[in-house]
Chains A and B, each alone.
Chain A
């Protein structure tokens, strides 16, 4: 085994930071969703790598749950983005600023 646990953790941290960077810089709501997916998948890499490292299956099973929850979250998120588009004719997250209604 030449690939140690630290490589997995570095990979997942990199992925997490890419996702976070995407959230902080993108204005398109869909890109925002994709960035969140990247962050969730970074956690999945961690969970599976640590499950192998500890010789324990809990992490792998939890990773499956996280995937299912991520799918559910995207489903709700796309619904919200759809009504956002219907109301504002745009999916730019900086456009809706009507809160002082």
Chain B
């Protein structure tokens, strides 16, 4: 196959294509700075995102990251040559490609939807180039294999996001949201980099495999650095919690998602969350093997994730149930879903756990479609100017049945109603958590079921408002913006189609999880 002939650095092609797309957008912007030619700008970013998606799918289908006869093996990049045993800075394996696919899909959907949403906005080129730059950072996070590259990629994803949230410069909500997002983001990245420095102090290395071998070589009975190692790991978890919008750094999420332009809320809550999870998965499976780390610091780090998973899903779902505005409800539900995905780390055991981690990866993929779609429906409602509360959405189905049917699919899939994609990923998470067998994981599985049942209440409340209630005021006829409609319908179709296609998806996810554990 042709892949054999490609040099190793092309393994990062999905991220490199996104970076090149951002540069093309800059060039267009510098040629005609005030251009508001949305077709060209949105077209470029959609093309770039789709190219990145195509390459990532091609790589994963061709067997990059698979071991064995038909596989092409894991691509290790920037390992400093044979004489330097530091290990690689980037690694392109199945997990990296899987998350690159999620990021590229969400970016494409959001770019298509932004074509209509950003109509009449002055800073078109800036908007698209910032979004593609953030997507580049998220794509690189998927492949980063050293605390250095993880931190730099994370900042590359975060800094454009702060600016994107504030892109509606004269809108007080947008600016306020951006301020809160930035302040908490800056604090959590400072905490995370301090944690990295402590881990560097304890192990003398920043590359994940090198940290693991350093810890494995340490003498568990006479280990002098247990304190700073434990504190460092705790601070790292803080950084991940921010990126994935989990407790205790979840405060920014409702504000930022509510104030930001709705396509950006979709982008942040799907792609950015997935990227946060991939670095958490990689760091904790590669750098801190369960048995060795527990022997050195005296406590099993899965406990931290068990507690965080339960608290995050409970806080997210209970807060979502009490909201009046749709966007804020979706923001809290997004926190709840971060709690579900955290089960992937909570369920790891010394000799396994690929089933739960694979299930968490599946959930993040399905979530990438259903949650992006739900936020894009809010974008559509904002485009129509119908208002923000549940009551304002009353009776929309009579005027826009197609979009409202898609909304029903998203809501029931988010709640986990059987025939839809969201049910299957939750089902795998549940069986995986039960399969681990410990009492704590049974509690986590029970929390998953209880929270899903609760979530059905507020998701169906939105469906009821849209389909059953009568409108409070008479509305004018609603337009049908092509881009937003296309993105919503595509997301809905994918949420349903993932059901028959779940075989290969779950196979890939579990295989990818097994490869890193």
Contacts and interface: CB of A to CB of B under 8 A. Distances in A.
A32 B151 CA distance: 21
B196 A99 contact: no
B175 A96 contact: yes
Most chain A beta-carbon neighbours within 10 Å: one of B151, B162, B201: B201
Given A53-B201, A62-B148, A80 B178 contact: yes
A69 B152 contact: yes
Interface residues of B, number: 41
A84 B193 contact: no
Given A36-B187, A43-B190, A93-B183, A50 B155 contact: no
Contacts of A101: 172-173, 388
B195 to A, nearest CB: 8
A2 to B, nearest CB: 20
Main secondary structure of the interface of B (DSSP, over half): helix
A87 interface: yes
A99 B205 contact: no
Contacts of B175: 80, 83-84, 87-88, 96
Interface in B240-264: 255, 258-259
Contacts of A93: 179, 183
A80 B162 contact: yes
Nearest to A75: B159
Interface in B155-191: 155, 159, 162-163, 166, 169-170, 172-173, 175-179, 182-183, 186-187, 189-191
Interface string B388-432: 100000000000000000000000000000000000000000000
B503 to A, nearest CB: 42
Given A33-B186, A59-B206, A88-B172, A99 B259 contact: yes
Contacts of B194: 12, 16, 39, 42-43, 46
B495 to A, nearest CB: 30
A20 B259 CA distance: 26
A46 B206 contact: no
A29 B179 contact: yes
Interface in B62-77: none
Interface in A1-18: 5, 9, 12, 16
Contacts of A99: 173, 176-177, 255, 258-259
Most chain A beta-carbon neighbours within 10 Å: one of B148, B163, B175, B228: B175
Interface string A57-101: 011011001100100110011011101101110000100111101
A56 B190 contact: no
Interface in B202-254: 204-206, 228
B201 A9 contact: yes
B200 A58 contact: yes
A62 B206 contact: yes
A43 B197 CA distance: 6
Interface string A21-38: 001000001001100100
Main secondary structure of the interface of A (DSSP, over half): helix
Contacts of B388: 101
B201 A50 contact: yes
B170 A72 contact: no
B198 interface: yes
A77 B206 CA distance: 28
A72 B228 CA distance: 28
Contacts of A39: 187, 190-191, 194
A59 B200 contact: yes
Given A36-B190, A50-B201, A101-B172, A73 B183 contact: no
A1 to B, nearest CB: 17
Contacts of B193: 40, 43, 66
B148 A23 contact: no
A77 B182 contact: yes
B152 A32 contact: no
B187 A23 contact: yes
Contacts of B258: 99
A16 B191 CA distance: 9
Contacts of A42: 194
A46 B201 CA distance: 8
B172 A50 contact: no
B186 A73 contact: yes
B154 to A, nearest CB: 10
B173 A98 contact: yes
Given A59-B206, A77-B182, A87 B163 contact: no
A99 B186 CA distance: 21
Nearest to A15: B194
23 contacts: A9-B228, A29-B179, A32-B186, A36-B190, A39-B194, A44-B197, A47-B200, A49-B201, A58-B86, A58-B200, A62-B148, A65-B148, A65-B151, A66-B151, A69-B155, A73-B189, A76-B162, A77-B182, A83-B175, A86-B169, A99-B176, A99-B177, A99-B258
Interface of B: 86, 147-148, 151-152, 155, 159, 162-163, 166, 169-170, 172-173, 175-179, 182-183, 186-187, 189-191, 193-194, 196-198, 200-201, 204-206, 228, 255, 258-259, 388
Given A39-B187, A65-B151, A99-B173, 6 more contacts: A50-B197, A62-B148, A62-B196, A76-B159, A80-B162, A80-B179
Please list the 7 inter-chain residue pairs (A to B) with the smallest Cβ-Cβ separation, ordered nearest first.
A46-B197, A39-B190, A96-B176, A54-B204, A50-B201, A43-B194, A43-B197
